[in-house]
Amino acid sequence: MLNGLKVEDISLITTAHHKYRGQFLTAYVIFFPNHGNLKANVSAKDGTFKSVRHRDCH
């Protein structure tokens, strides 16, 4: 992790969403403030890093 990078929030996702296209669920999404809407996705099953997202398009 980058020095100075702070966690803003962590959410558990248990329902399917188009972003995940049928992939890993359940997952934790870790939000980082002031870094271009940066989010890290981590498997709740085994704790492995799955993906990173930034600049969300709704």
Any domain includes 58:
no
Bridging pattern class, strands 39-43 and 27-31:
antiparallel
Any domain includes 22:
yes
Any domain includes 2:
yes
Any domain includes 54:
no
The predicted structure's pLDDT at residue 55: 67
Any domain includes 48:
no
Global pTM exceeds 0.85: no
Structural domain span for residue 2: 1-33
pLDDT in tens, 14-53: 876 656 566 656 889 999 887 677 888 898 889 998 888 8
Q: Please count the structural domains in the chain.
A: 1
Any domain includes 40:
no
Which residue in 58, 38, 21, 1 sits closest to 29, CA to CA?
38
What is the Cα 55 distance to its own chain's centre?
Answer: 13
CA distance 32 to 9: 7
